[in-house]
A and B are shown apart, each in its own frame.
Chain A
Amino acid sequence: MYSMGIGSLIIVMIVSVCMGSVITLQTALQQAESSWIPAWTIGYTVRTSVILELCPTIISLLLVGNLGSRITAEIGSMKVTEQVDALEVMGINSASYLVLPKIVSSLFVNPALIIISIFFALMGGYITVLASGFITGYDYIDGITYYFIMYDVWYALTKTVVFGFVIASVAAFYGYKIEGGALELGKASTKGVVVASFIILILNLVITNVMLN
């Protein structure tokens, strides 16, 4: 759990700050064309976008590439080098010994990383409004706290738990079914990332339809 979480923390923080900054700038530029829209709208829009969609989905897609490919490579290389066979010979169920801890970790790590990501995305937006001077910091904070609905956070966390399961299980599946050598390992990593990303995008649509419609 430590290696999965800490290993992805820096990249999640960097991407989140950049994402928060960009969405803030884009919203501010749109708002600048209409002077009658209240200043707090920027913070409100950034918060809503970040919590509902950007952080849960974009960061999960990022983690597919980071955590998912790592899981596929780790299990796959153990398969190729007969380490999985060594476990089986000792009477250990290699699937539950290797895969289950990764799935359980991912169920906890993914939501934690997304919460951190939301915080850093909002911070990125705050730094941007201070630096650009489009609106005041007070207006931004007013916006991100305006009409705050806790259900949005539960919706985001639900998505991240589901996505966390998809990231670990799909990656482990492709790592576990490798037969062959290093070439197969590379192919399996790529295929795992593509399939997990596709499943996440489809589930995103389904969960959004179920929980927000």
Chain B
Amino acid sequence: MIVVNKVNKSFADKQVLHNINITFEKGKVNLVIGRSGSGKTVLMKCLIGLLTPSEGSIYYGNRDFHHLTFSDQKALRNEMGVVFQGSALFDSLTIEENLMFPLNMLTKQSFKEKLDRVNYCLHRVDLYNTNKLYPSELSGGMKKRAAIARAIAINPQYLFCDEPNSGLDPKTSLIIDELITGITHEFSMTTVVNTHDLNSVITIGETISFIKDGVLGWYGTKDEVLRTENEGLNDFIYAQPITQKIRDFVH
């Protein structure tokens, strides 16, 4: 479980996050939704330690991440897997080397053990015969799956995905969503997903946090999101004609 407690984040004079309080539950896919520029990515960067909150705390279990010693922070980072928006696979390494990279850096496994783990993770995300390919030789969806495979290679307790469906076609988005949900339940991870993909919201959002202008505007589940009276969330959810038809159908 991850608890975000009264987190504020400012850049110079501009405050991006305002008193955010969220609990991301273990074994569930926790979505953070909101418009572009609402502060989702800043919140995620605070969660994974790329940014430090100006005020407040982020607890992983009972560990206050930003007040840990350097070595304890490093140990906690070994429990995190991150899927970046652009996949962030290392261009100069093959897919196999990309997956082996965190294992080389963070574990003392033998080469055979690491190779077995790499192959297991690649098969888990349905990537076959891609070990020796470079990221530039993969499609967008395959890159995302490879990035997920790299993120789970170290068997993390916490999985973070920043807009995993951006730039993907609807079918591939579904596959990625199913994959994230499946992995989360299978390994009982605490998964946090930044998204503004409405299909993800209504299919995989076991908890949903809606951020508007850096403020937590709404918190609930996928079953509640379509029936909410929250004006800001409704503006976000029903911005498109297709979702307006869903609203008419639901009501």
Contacts and interface: CB of A to CB of B under 8 A. Distances in A.
Contacts of B91: 77-78, 81, 83
Residues of B in contact with A, size category: 20 to 34
Contacts of A78: 90-91
Interface stretch (B22-30, B74-82, B209-217, B230-238): B74-82
Given A82-B86, A91-B78, 5 more contacts: A81-B88, A90-B78, A90-B101, A91-B77, A92-B105
12 contacts: A77-B91, A81-B91, A82-B86, A83-B89, A83-B90, A85-B50, A88-B49, A88-B50, A89-B49, A89-B50, A89-B80, A90-B101
A195 to B, nearest CB: 26
Contacts of A85: 50, 82, 84, 88
Interface in A84-134: 85-86, 88-92
Interface string B40-60: 000000001110000000000
Contacts of A77: 91
Interface of A is mostly: helix
A177 B102 CA distance: 24
Interface of A: 77-78, 81-83, 85-86, 88-92
Nearest to A86: B88
A103 B173 CA distance: 42
Contacts of B89: 83
Most chain B Cβ neighbours within 10 Å, of A83, A85, A86, A88: A86
Contact of B77 (A81, A82, A83, A90): A90
Nearest to A3: B92
B106 interface: yes
Most chain B Cβ neighbours within 10 Å, of A78, A88, A90, A92: A90
Interface in B121-151: none
A78 B84 CA distance: 13
B158 to A, nearest CB: 11
B85 interface: yes
A91 B84 contact: no
Contacts of A89: 48-50, 77, 80, 82
A90 B84 CA distance: 13
Contacts of B73: 91
A60 B32 CA distance: 51
Contacts of A92: 105
Q: Which 10 A-B pairs have the closest CB atoms?
A: A91-B77, A82-B88, A91-B74, A86-B88, A82-B84, A89-B82, A83-B88, A90-B102, A89-B48, A81-B86
A91 B48 CA distance: 10
A13 to B, nearest CB: 26
A89 B158 CA distance: 12
Contacts of A91: 73-74, 77-78, 105-106
A82 B101 CA distance: 16
B49 to A, nearest CB: 7
Interface string B83-108: 01110111100000000011001100
